[in-house]
Structure 1
Amino acid sequence: MKSSDLFVKALENEGVKYIYGIPGEENLDLLNSLKDSTIELIITRHEQAAGFMAATYGRLTGHPGVCLSTLGPGATNFVTAAAYAQLGAMPMMMIGGQKPIRKSKQGRFQIVDVVNLMRPITKFSEQIVDGNNVPSTIREAFRLAIEERPGAVYIELPEDIADEQTDASLFDVVGHQRPLADANAVSQAVQMIQEAKMPLLLIGAGANRKATRQALTEFIDKTGIYFFNTQMGKGVIDERHPKFLGTAALSANDFLHCAIDRADLIINIGHDVIEKPPFFMEKGGKKVIHINFFPARIDDVYFPQLNVVGDISHSIEAITETINIPQSADYSYYETVREEVNSHLTKYFEDDRFPMLPQRLVSILRSELDAEDIITLDNGIYKIWFARNYKCYSPNTLLLDNALATMGAGLPSAMIAKQLNPDKKVISVNGDGGFMMNSQELETAVRMGLNLVVIILNDNAYGMIKWKQEDMGFDNFGLDYGNPDFVAYANSFGAHGHRPENVDDFKRILQHTLNAPGVHVIDLPIDYSLNHSILNVMLKESACKI
C-alpha cells in the first residue's frame, strides 16, 4: 500500500480519533488517506491553536493528541504548542509535511530544518526517509510521548515518501508496567514521617496526571497530615477537605508560606521541575521526601533527603499501609493558618462593584458550576486569583498552565475540554490580550457545534505585566491597547456576544449561556486595582506570629 495509507493505519492502530490542524500541498497524500479512515480531521484556523488542542487532549486523556501541519511556516507555528506540551508533560504528536527528499526541483523554497528545530523542545523528532519505517517510527513516537515524563513528539513525512509503496506491517501496541518503589525507600519514608513534628504534604503537577486521588485521600485521612498544592496540582484531592491549606500561587510571601516555613518535613508528591517548589531549602533546615516516577533533579533550592521512585499511587499506598499516626505531630498551628487563609480569600467574594473584581468572578463561577464542570484559563494576572480562590472538587476541573505559561491557549484548551466532555459545563476565562492571540478559533468552535462559554476579562492592557511594572517601581509605559467590540466580533463568527452592565446582569447572562446551545462570548470589564494592596499582603503579619 501507499506509505500515507500505512501511516494512517498506524495512527488508527494507536487509537487516534482526531487530528487537528491545517494541511498543505505536502500533506495531500496523507489527506487523501485520511478521507476514508476512522480518524476525524478537524481543521483549525491556526497551527498553534491545533497544537494547543492536541496537547490538551493528551492532558485530559493520557493518550497523545495529534495535530497536522504542512512544511516551513506551518510547522514552525507548532513551536509554541510543542513547548507548551513538553513543559506541561502533555502527550502530543505533531505531524509535519516536507518537500520530496529523493529529488527536488524547487531548491530551498519554504524548507526549514524543522526536525532539528524541534529536538530541544520535544522528546522525539524524526523525518521518515523510507516508507518501510512508518510503523516503527510511529510506534516509538507514541511510546515516548506517553512514557514518564510525558511530552511532545514530532514526525515529518516528506511528500515523496508518503507516495511510495511499502509492504511493511504494523507493530502491536504494547503497554508497560511502571516500576514500583524500593521497599527500603518506603520504610525510610514511613520513619521520617513518623518522626516529624510538623509535616506537610505538597501535591505537584505530576500527581495530577495519574489516579492518585484515592491513595492520597486515604493517606491524609489516616495520618491527619495537612496538605497544599501547586497550581498544576489543584483538584487531585477535593479542596473542601478539612486538611486542605490552600494553593501556592505566588513564588514567595504568599499566604501559605508561613505554614511552609514552620514545617520540618515536606512530603512532595509529583514534584515537577517546571513548577519550582514553593519553599526554599537550606542545608540543615527542613527535610524533603520526593515521591515521583523519577528521582529529583538536584539544584540550589531542591535537594531532597529521600527519593521514593516508582508509581506514585503504589508508593503512597505502601506508605499508608505501614505508617502509624505520628504521635509527636502538632497540627494546631496549621489549623490557625487554614482559618486565616480562608478569611483572606473570601474577603471580596460578595463585593458587587463594577467593573468586577476577579475575586467576585471566582466566587460566582464556583457557585454556578458542579464538581465535575471545567474552567480553562489563558494566562494573566487573574490566574493567581483562580489558583488561590477557586476550590477544585475534582481533578482537571481547573485547567491552567503554570509550565510554559503561554498566552493564547485558553480558548483552544476549552474547546477540547468540551469536545471530550459534552455533558459537562465548560467555561473559558481569558484576558483580552490572550484571547486575541487565538480568537479566530471561535469559528472552529462554532463549526464543531460546541456549547461553550467564553469570558473575556477586558482591561485594555497586558494586566499581568502592568502589575509587575508597577511593583518594580517602573513608570506605566508600553502595555495599553484598544480592543474591538467583542460582542460584534463574536457575532461575526456565528457565536453569541454579551456585555453585562453590572454584577447581577453578569450572573443572569452566565446562567443563560451555561444552559443555552452554541458558543457564547461575554465581554466582562474587570477591575485589577486591588492587585497591589492584596497580592502584596503577607499572612506573616498575622498568623505567622501566633
Structure 2
Amino acid sequence: MKASDLFIKALENEGVTFVFGIPGEENLDFLDSLSRSNIKLILTRHEQAAGFMAATYGRLTGKAGVCLSTLGPGATNLVTAAAYAQLGGMPMMMITGQKPVKRSKQGQFQIVDIVAMMEPLTKYTRQLVSGSNIPSRVREAFRLAQEEKPGAVHLEFPEDIAEEETKEPVIEASLVRRPIAESKSILAAVDRLQKAKHPLLIVGGGANRKLTCNMLRNFVDKFGIPFVTTQMGKGVVDERGPLFLGNAALSGGDFVHRAIDAADLIVNIGHDVVEKPPFFMRPGGVEVIHMNFSTASVDPVYFPQVEVVGDIANSVWQISELLEKQDSWDFSRFMEVRKHGELQLAEGADDDRFPIYPQRLVADVRKAVEDEGIIALDNGVYKIWFARNYKAHSPNSVMLDNALASMGAGLPSAMAAKLVHPQRSVTAVCGDGGFMMNSQELETAVRLNMHIVVVILRDNAYGMIKWKQANMGLRDFGLDYGNPDFVKYAQSYGAEGHRVNSAAELLPLLQKCHAEHAVHVIEVPVDYSENDQILNHDIKHRSAAI
C-alpha cells in the first residue's frame, strides 16, 4: 500500500475519529488516503484553531487529538497550539507536510526546520524518512502524547515519503498499567493525615482525569475533608457540595487563602507547576503531601515533606483504605471562611446595572447552563470571575487554560467540546480581543451545523491589560481598538446574532439560544472599571478581616 494509506491505518488503529486542520499540496496523498477512511476531516479556517480543537479533544477524551497542516507557514501557525497542549497537559498529535526529502524541486522555498522548531514545545518530534517507519513512529508518538503528563507530539510527513510503497503492518498498543505509589509513602501520608488537626485538600489539573475524579469524590464524602481547587482542577469534585471552599483564582488575598493559611497539613493532589501556586511554603510552616503521577518539582515556594508518586486514583484509594476519620480534626475555621466567601460570591448576582456587572454575568450563565453543560473560556479578566464564581458540577465542564493562558482558544475549544459531547450544551465565553483572534471559525461551526452559544464581552480594548496598566499608575495608552457590529458579523457567517441592551435581557436570551439549534453569537457590553473593587480592595480587605 502507499505510505499515506499506512499512516491513515495507523491513525485508525489508535482510535482517531477526527483530524482538524488545513491541508496543503504536500498533504495531498495523505488527504486522498483520508478520504477513504472513517476518520472525519474537520476543515478549519486557521491552523491555530485546528490545534486548539485537537488539544481540547485530547483534554476531554484522554486520547490524542490530531491536527494537520502543510509545511512552512502552515506548520508555524501550530506553534501556539503546541505550547497550549504541552503546558496544559492535553494529548495532541500534529502532522505537518514537507517538500520531498530525497530530491529538491524548489530549493529552500517555504523550508523551515519544523522538527527543530517543535523540539522545545513537544514531548516527541520526528521527520518520517521511510514508509516502513510509520507504524513505530505513530505508535510511539501516541504513547508519549497520552502518557502522564500528557502533551503535544509532532510528525513531519514529506510528500515523497507519503507516495512510497510499503508492506509494513500497524503496531497494536501494548497493555500498560500506570505504576502505583510505594506502600511506605502511602503509610507516611496516612500517618500525617491522622495526626493533623486541620487537613485541607487542594485539587489541581493533574487530578482532572476520569478515574481520579471518581476516587476523590468518594474520598471527600467518606472523610469530610474540605477542599480547594486550582483553576484547571475545577469540577473534579462537584463544587455545589458543602466542603468546597473555593477556587484559587486570584494570586493571593482571596477567601480561599484564609483557609489555606489555617491548614496545618495540605494534601496537594495533581499539582502542576505551570499553574500559579495557590500557596507558598516557608521553612517550618505548613506540611505538604504531594500526590501526583510524577515527583515534585522543587522550587523556593514548593518543597513537600511527603511525595506519593504513582497513579493518583490508586493513591487516593490506598489512603482511603487505611485512613480513619479523626475526632480531632477541626474544620470550623474552614467553614467560617466558606460562609463569608459564599456571601461575597452571591453579592451582585441580581445587580441590574449596565454594562453588565461581573457577578450578574456569571450567575446568569450558570443558571442558563444545564448541570452537565460545558463552558469554554477564552483568556481575559472575566476568566477570574468564572473561576471564582461559577460552580462546576462535573469534571472538565469548565474549559479554561491556566497554563499557557493563550487568547483565541475559547471558540475553537467550544467547537471541539461539542464534537466530543454533541448532546451536552456548550457555551463559549470570549472577550472581544480573544474572540477576534479566531472568529473566522464561526464559518466552520455553521458549516458543521453546530449548536453552540458564543458570548462576546465587548469593551473595545484589551481590558485585562488596560486594568493592570491603570493599577500600576501608568498612562492609558496603546490598548484601545474598534470592533465590528457583532450581530451583523455573526449573520454574515450564517450564524444568529444577538445583542444585550440591559442586564435583564441576558438570562432569557441565553435560555432561548440554548433551546434553538444554531450557532448563536451574543454581544454583551462589559465595564472592567469595577475590577479593582471586586477583585482587589473589597475581597482582600474583607477576607483579611475574617
TM-score, L = length of structure 1: 0.98
Q: 1:320: Cα distance to partner?
A: 1.1
The aligned counterpart of 2:213 is 213
Alignment of 1:100-499 (within 5 A): 100-499=100-499
Change (3 A) 1:453 1:543: closer
Structure 2 CA distance, aligned partners of 1:287 and 1:208? 24
Structure 1 CA distance, aligned partners of 2:405 and 2:29? 36
Structure 1 CA distance, aligned partners of 2:150 and 2:175? 14
Q: Is the 8 A contact 1:462 1:479 kept in 2?
A: yes
Q: 1:505: Cα distance to partner?
A: 2.1
* 1:509-539 deviations in Å (ceiling 9; x for gaps): 2121111111010011112221001211365
The aligned counterpart of 2:86 is 86
The aligned counterpart of 1:70 is 70
- For 1:427, give the aligned amino acid: T
- For 1:478, give the aligned amino acid: G
Q: Is the 8 A contact 1:497 1:521 kept in 2?
A: yes
- For 2:455, give the aligned amino acid: I
Q: Is the 8 A contact 1:258 1:539 kept in 2?
A: no
Q: Is the 8 A contact 1:21 1:67 kept in 2?
A: yes
Structure 2 CA distance, aligned partners of 1:397 and 1:109? 44
Q: 1:470: Cα distance to partner?
A: 1.3
Structure 2 CA distance, aligned partners of 1:524 and 1:456? 6
Structure 2 CA distance, aligned partners of 1:510 and 1:533? 27
Structure 1 CA distance, aligned partners of 2:369 and 2:210? 24
* 1:117-142 deviations in Å (ceiling 9; x for gaps): 00100000000001110100000000
Q: 1:504: Cα distance to partner?
A: 2.3
Q: Is the 8 A contact 1:258 1:540 kept in 2?
A: no
The aligned counterpart of 1:42 is 42
Q: 1:198: Cα distance to partner?
A: 1.3
Structure 1 CA distance, aligned partners of 2:544 and 2:488? 50
Q: 1:296: Cα distance to partner?
A: 0.5
Q: Is the 8 A contact 2:495 2:519 kept in 1?
A: yes
Structure 2 CA distance, aligned partners of 1:123 and 1:92? 10
More displaced 10-residue stretch of structure 1: 210-219 or 507-516: 210-219
More displaced 10-residue stretch of structure 1: 208-217 or 403-412: 208-217
Change (3 A) 1:7 1:410: same
* 1:28-57 deviations in Å (ceiling 9; x for gaps): 111111111111111100000000000000
Q: Is the 8 A contact 1:59 1:209 kept in 2?
A: no
* 1:467-490 deviations in Å (ceiling 9; x for gaps): 111122212111111000111110
2:535 counterpart of 1:535: yes
* 1:191-237 deviations in Å (ceiling 9; x for gaps): 10111111110000000123222321222223221110000000000
- For 2:165, give the aligned amino acid: Q
Identity %: 62
The aligned counterpart of 1:57 is 57
Q: 1:545: Cα distance to partner?
A: 4.7
Q: Is the 8 A contact 2:86 2:152 kept in 1?
A: yes
Structure 2 CA distance, aligned partners of 1:156 and 1:543? 52
* CA RMSD, 1 decimal: 1.1
TM-score, L = length of structure 2: 0.98
Change (3 A) 1:165 1:505: same
Aligned residues: 546
- For 1:129, give the aligned amino acid: V
Q: 1:543: Cα distance to partner?
A: 5.2
- For 1:349, give the aligned amino acid: A
Q: Is the 8 A contact 1:255 1:538 kept in 2?
A: no
Q: 1:365: Cα distance to partner?
A: 1.1
- For 2:337, give the aligned amino acid: V
Q: 1:244: Cα distance to partner?
A: 0.7
SS in 2 for 1:342: helix
Structure 2 CA distance, aligned partners of 1:464 and 1:126? 39
Q: Is the 8 A contact 1:194 1:327 kept in 2?
A: no
Q: Is the 8 A contact 2:254 2:543 kept in 1?
A: no
- For 1:117, give the aligned amino acid: M
- For 1:16, give the aligned amino acid: V
* 1:100-156 deviations in Å (ceiling 9; x for gaps): 000112110000000010010000000000111010000000000000110000000
* 1:310-338 deviations in Å (ceiling 9; x for gaps): 11111111111111113322211111100
- For 1:316, give the aligned amino acid: V
Listed as ranges, the gaps of 5+ residues in structure 2 are: none
Structure 1 CA distance, aligned partners of 2:255 and 2:76? 41
Structure 2 CA distance, aligned partners of 1:506 and 1:533? 23
- For 1:255, give the aligned amino acid: F
- For 1:37, give the aligned amino acid: S
Change (3 A) 1:462 1:175: farther
- For 1:486, give the aligned amino acid: F
Structure 2 CA distance, aligned partners of 1:429 and 1:441? 15
Structure 1 CA distance, aligned partners of 2:443 and 2:363? 30
Structure 2 CA distance, aligned partners of 1:250 and 1:404? 16
Structure 1 CA distance, aligned partners of 2:190 and 2:281? 21
More displaced 10-residue stretch of structure 1: 385-394 or 535-544: 535-544
Q: 1:256: Cα distance to partner?
A: 1.2
- For 2:216, give the aligned amino acid: L
The aligned counterpart of 2:523 is 523
